Amino acid sequence: MNGTIFDSLREQVRGQVITPGDADYDAARAVHNGMIDKRPAAVVRVSQVADVIASVNFARDNSLDLAVRGGGHSGPGFGTADDALVIDFAGTSGVRVDPANRTARSEAGATWADFNHATHAFGLATTGGIVGSTGVAGLTLGGGIGYLARKYGLSCDNLLSADVVTADGKFVTASETENDDLLWALRGGGGNFGVVTSLEFRVHPVDMVHAGIVIYPLEHAETVAKFYRGHLAAAPEEFGAFLAFHQGPPVPFLPEQWHGKPVCIVVGMWTGDLSEGRHAGSRSSTLHRWQVPWWVRCHIPP
């Protein structure tokens, strides 16, 4: 596609419009999953809602597919597409906390590390992803599971309202009192209902927590998984944990011969009373395992 057609978009937005041939095109089209190698027609790094409205209108008027990127962590790479216009929110990552009303409003490019950092200052948090680099928008629109989900519900359960630019370029707010059907769709329906420019969440009193990670040789996975299932079902809701299969990470407490080898990992977090929670994740076990001193006192890890 002729790059000059984007000149009119450049005139309408404050953010950068990057097309093939621009020095940072390869960086602008990259997403978290390195196996995804798409070549969009242009990437627009939006700086404000006006840029989003202009971009949506431009894509529609020029029959371009539109892809939307928040944190860029979609496994299948839905935040980019060949020959599409990509709206990239990475430059909009502000989070405004309202401690009196226990709410927080996030711009669409914020990651969970950005969000946790902002709300922790007020001793507040909501359910986010277990990895800080995932995007608030993409994760919430898909549902969103995290350490706090057992007590406070999914990320989308805590979504109070969202500002959205619809396919016809209109700006609307979706909440319980306005466009409630759109809010219902956004709460887990993914990114197909419009371009979300900000999200307002309910936040909860969560300050310091205990967190830890335990790594087991893969041959113990069946035993670990059975124990995990039973233990979690009976554990207090303040305890959240995840079981995963990984390549052994190069962390100091894991012997070097296990680095890069298949291992079974359990990560957990206690968000209740700190004096009670010390033992919630500790269970005696005869299994061989490596672990950080279980229950490190910290705030929600970025």
Ligand X SMILES: Cc1cc2nc3c(=O)[nH]c(=O)nc-3n(C[C@H](O)[C@H](O)[C@H](O)COP(=O)(O)OP(=O)(O)OC[C@H]3O[C@@H](n4cnc5c(N)ncnc54)[C@H](O)[C@@H]3O)c2cc1C
Give least dist CB 36 to ligand X, A: 9
Give least dist CB 219 to ligand X, A: 25
> Does 302 sit near ligand X (CB under 6 A)?
no
**H-type alpha helices, 82-192:** 112-120, 136-141, 149-152, 180-186
- Among 167, 190, 199, which residue's Cα sits nearest to residue 79? 190
> Does 40 sit near ligand X (CB under 6 A)?
no
| Residue (5 or 232) nearer to ligand X, CB | 232
Q: What angle do CA 217, 221, 223 make, to 5 degrees?
A: 120
Question: What letter does residue 17 receive in the DSSP assignment?
Answer: E
> Does 240 sit near ligand X (CB under 6 A)?
no
> d(Cα 92, Cα 120) in Å, to the nearest integer?
20
Phi, psi of 26 (to 5 degrees): -65, -40
> Does 127 sit near ligand X (CB under 6 A)?
no
Phi, psi of 12 (to 5 degrees): -95, -10
Applying CB under 6 A, which of residues 72, 212, 248, 277 lies at the interface with ligand X?
Answer: 72
Q: Pull the structure tokens for residue 138.
A: 């993409």
Residue 228's Cβ-count burial label (10 Å; 0-12, 13-18, 19+) is: middle
State the pairing for strand pair 66-69/85-88: parallel
Applying CB under 6 A, which of residues 17, 46, 113, 137 lies at the interface with ligand X?
Answer: 137
> Does 130 sit near ligand X (CB under 6 A)?
yes
Give least dist CB 140 to ligand X, A: 8
> d(Cα 87, Cα 97) in Å, to the nearest integer?
25
Give least dist CB 75 to ligand X, A: 6
> Does 75 sit near ligand X (CB under 6 A)?
yes
Applying CB under 6 A, which of residues 6, 58, 89, 295 lies at the interface with ligand X?
Answer: 89
| Residue (129 or 248) nearer to ligand X, CB | 129
> Does 189 sit near ligand X (CB under 6 A)?
no
What residues between 149 and 188 interact with ligand X by CB under 6 A? none
Specify the residue for token string 């020095």. Answer: 23
> d(Cα 28, Cα 22) in Å, to the nearest integer?
10
| Residue (40 or 138) nearer to ligand X, CB | 138
> Does 70 sit near ligand X (CB under 6 A)?
yes
> Does 131 sit near ligand X (CB under 6 A)?
yes
> d(Cα 85, Cα 195) in Å, to the nearest integer?
13
Applying CB under 6 A, which of residues 15, 40, 79, 281 lies at the interface with ligand X?
Answer: 79
- Which region, judged by CB under 6 A, interacts with ligand X, from 62-70, 211-219, 221-229, 293-301? 62-70
Cβ-contact 13, 45 below 8 angstroms: no
> Does 69 sit near ligand X (CB under 6 A)?
yes
| Residue (97 or 199) nearer to ligand X, CB | 199
SS3 159: strand
Give least dist CB 215 to ligand X, A: 17
Residue numbers of the site for ligand X (CB under 6 A)?
A: 32, 67-75, 78-79, 89, 108, 129-131, 134-135, 137-139, 141-146, 190-191, 195-196
